[in-house]
Structure formats: C-alpha cells, structure tokens
Structure 1
Amino acid sequence: MHMESFSEGYRALVIGASGGIGAALVDALRTDPRCASVTELGRSTSPPLDLADPVSIEQAAAELAGQGPFHLIINAVGVLHSDAFMPEKRLADLSHQQLLETFQVNTFGPALLLRYFSGLLDRQRGVLAMLSAKVGSICDNRLGGWYSYRASKAALNMLIKTASIEIKRSQPNAVLLALHPGTVNSNLSQPFRGAEIGRPAADAAHDLLRVIDRLGPEASGGFYAYNGEALPW
C-alpha cells in the first residue's frame, strides 16, 4: 500500500482499531513505507476511547495532541446489532433504548470526534474519514427497515457535511469524508450472511485507502463508496 497524496513520513490514527475493518486499516497503513506511524485508539488502548463515553473522547484528543498533527484520521467504529438487539424490520420493533445505543455509537460519538479531533489534522494535507453506510442514503432507500441504523448513518453524513463547511474556513486543506466500505466479512455483517457475500476486511481496507488517496479538499463533506463512486444523500 502506497498513499501518494500524503507527504513522506505521514502519521495516521485509526479509531476502532480492534474491529475487523479497523484492524485491516492498521495493517495496510503499516505496510506503507511512507507512513511513519499508525496510532490505534479504542476502549482497551492507552489512552482509551469509547464512543459511548464523551469524556474519554475529549481526553484522548488532548493526550494525542502532542503526537500530531495527523495526516490521516479514520473512525472505523459502528454498531448494527448487539447481544441485546437486531436491526428493526418494522415500526413495531422500534425501541427507545435501541435508538439511543445505536445513535450513541454511530452518530453522537462521531460528532464529538469531529469536535475534538479535527483540530489535530495536518494543515497541508489532513483527512478525517468516517465509516458510514450506503443504507444511510435517504435517496437510495428502497427496502425500508433497519430504522436505527439507517437514521444514525444519515445523521452522521449530515454532521460530516456540516462540519466540512465550517472547518474549510480555518483549515482549507482539510478533507472530511463519509465512506461506505461495502459488505465486509466482519462481526457487523455476520448475522446477515457476511461470511458468504462479504469480502475480506483487508480488501475493504485497501479499497477505502485508495479512495482517500484520490480525494482532495474539493471532495470534503462528500459521501463515497469503496469503489470511489459518489453516493446520493
């Protein structure tokens, strides 16, 4: 893997590095001879970061400020299901608790990442990418269902778009991206035939990094698939 758009010795930060795609992103970045360091963040790292814990997000950003600036920051954390719930198939399945837990990880936590980590981006070439999902596209919703997940990702996309407008004023070279990784063989997709229809996390990671490498400040605030296709809102 060679990220040509970043300067020699660029620094990367992966949030959610213990997950399937997160771990694959770390591995791919560490094979790039141009990458000087890859910092991993998650609930078990030092400093710890838990998207359900706002204090940990602020503290992690403060602790890592001295290691920056970072040229690439990727958030690979997301939740579709848990031991307590599965995606809703109909309105009758909606649960206040499920909505809260899904939005906490997919939307509220990432919103605070935007707040606290965008200032750690390198001024010459800094990319902050968040894993979103094509099912978060309102225009592309043809099947219905999956209320919490769809809505939380649609809200994430709006946060990224809105933040990109503000950040461009003070950091014109910053690039904020919402990225759809496609169906990947991971814990997230496992209950939905992920092992059969999903591709390896390593392939997804390389695809996502290739997309990031091609996009400049003019793409900031955009929503893109792993193949580079711009997705509808």
Structure 2
Amino acid sequence: MSLNDEINSVNALIVGARQGIGFGFVKRLLQDEKIAKVFATSRQLELATDLIAFADEHSERLICLEMDITDELQIVETIQKIHTQVDKLHLVVNCVGLLHEDTLQPEKSLRQINSENLLRYFQINSIGAVLLAKHLLPLLRHGERSVFASISAKLGSIGDNKLGGWYGYRASKAALNMLMRTAAIEYKRSCPKALIVTLHPGTTDTRLSRPFQKNVPAEKLFSVEHTVTQLLAVIEQLQEGDSGQFFSWDGSRLPW
C-alpha cells in the first residue's frame, strides 16, 4: 500500500489497534517499505499484548500509545506525542467502534431503549471520531495527499435501513457519517490535500461481530486480512472529489 507514488515516506496512525481490523491494518502497513512510522493506539495498552509484542519486533517503525477517544484530553496529549516524532501524517484510520459490551446489546425493539446505552454508543461511535478530526488537523495540513478514514457500517445508512432494530448502533453510525461529511467540507477549505471518508468493512470475523455471525453466509464473512486488503484498495483509489463520501469495502458508494 502506498498512498502516493510521489511520497517516499508515509506516516500512519491506526486508532483502536489492539485487535481486529485495527491490528490487521498495523500488520499490513508494516509490510510496506514506504511506511516510515505507524502509530497505534489502544484504550488500555496493558491489555494489548499482541500489539505490544508486534511492536517489539518493529521497534523502529511501530509506536504504541494509550488513548481513549472518549477523553478529549487524552486525544490532545497523544497527538502532541505523535507531533514530537513526525510533522505530518498521511493515513489515519479510526477503527474504534462499539456494538456490544457487558450488558449493552443491540436493541431489538423500542422497549429496550436505554438512554445511558444510547449515549455510550454515540460517545464511542460518533463523537470520538470528530474529536480526532478536530485535533489531527495540524498533522494533516500539508502539501502531500492524506486520508482520514473512519470505520462506519452499512447499518448506519438511513436509506438502506429495511429491517429496523439496533437503534443505538444504527443512529451512532449515521451520526458518524454526518460528522465526517461535515468535517470533510471544512477540511477542504483549510486542509485541501486531505480526504475524509467513512468505510463499511463488511461483516468481518472479529470480536465485535462474533455474537451475530450465525446467519451470515460463509462467503460474506470476511477474514480481517481480506477486509484490510479491500479497505486499503478503496483508500488507494480515492480521488479528490471523494472526500466526505461513504464507501463499501468493494469501492461502491453507499446511500446516506
């Protein structure tokens, strides 16, 4: 993967790199000799044992940082640490997402709506991403092409919603799409070389999707490696006019 053949040294940030798609991005990027530095964040770094072990093998290029995207101060501090090592980023992928945790589960009906759970969904799936956009601007404002991608979900498409349910997850991903589209408009004025997109990865075999895989056909359940390959291909093919758009893993545009 190379964001631009004219860029000889690419710096990347993967947010939410402890496992799943985030960790898959880290491993794939480090296979590319054009990638100079990969900054990888985890909310609880002490639990990110695979990531830390991988960093030991790639100590010159992989830097692990602890960051909770629900805490704006932590975002500021982490980006300041990155800024002490590099003066620009070319690729940022926000892989943080919440579908279920502990007693929080996708709602099947209005009876299950809980305001605290809804706030939790928005805090992690929506607000964290726009806070990243706010504070990453100085590292993305440069003369080389850069991409800031957030992992969204087809379930966040209002136009595609035919089944209902999953209120908090659907609404928070729809909010993510709107926040990123709005940020893309502002970035176009202040940071014209940076593209902002949201990406639907397809159903990927990760902890997030595992409880909901039983009705997924085998050919539609992707490995992490396949998902990362597909999403990097979409990122690679982005054009200037694509900023603010919502793409599926196969490169097709999804309805809002």
What TM-score, normalized to structure 1? 0.95
Q: Which moved more, 1:162-171 or 1:113-122?
A: 113-122
| 1:70 Cα deviation from its structure 2 partner | 0.6
Kept in 1: contact 2:3–2:145 (CA 8 A): no
Aligned equivalents of 2:15, 2:91: Cα separation in 1: 11
Amino acid at match of 1:92: R
Q: Which moved more, 1:214-223 or 1:141-150?
A: 214-223
Aligned equivalents of 1:42, 1:118: Cα separation in 2: 21
Structure 1 residue aligned with 2:193: 173
- 1:151 pairs with 2:171: yes
Structure 2 residue aligned with 1:74: 93
Matched-pair identity in %: 41
Structure 1 residue aligned with 2:156: 136
* TM-superposition CA deviations, 1:27-82 (whole Å, max 9, x none): 11111121112111122345421022221112111221232301001100100011
Aligned equivalents of 1:135, 1:221: Cα separation in 2: 18
Aligned equivalents of 2:3, 2:240: Cα separation in 1: 15
Kept in 2: contact 1:73–1:129 (CA 8 A): yes
Partner SS state of residue 246, structure 2: strand
Kept in 1: contact 2:13–2:91 (CA 8 A): yes
Of 192, 195, 219, 2:212 maps to 192
Of 53, 57, 64, 2:71 maps to 53
- 1:229 pairs with 2:246: no
- 1:97 pairs with 2:116: yes
Amino acid at match of 1:227: D
Kept in 2: contact 1:19–1:77 (CA 8 A): no
| 1:120 Cα deviation from its structure 2 partner | 1.2
Partner SS state of residue 18, structure 1: coil
Kept in 2: contact 1:123–1:174 (CA 8 A): no
Count residues in correspondence. Answer: 232
Structure 2 unaligned spans of 5+: 46-63
| 1:217 Cα deviation from its structure 2 partner | 2.1
What TM-score, normalized to structure 2? 0.87
Kept in 2: contact 1:74–1:130 (CA 8 A): yes
* TM-superposition CA deviations, 1:91-124 (whole Å, max 9, x none): 1110011101111100111111111113211431
Aligned alpha-carbon RMSD (Å): 1.5
Q: Which moved more, 1:173-182 or 1:110-119?
A: 110-119
Structure 1 residue aligned with 2:39: 39
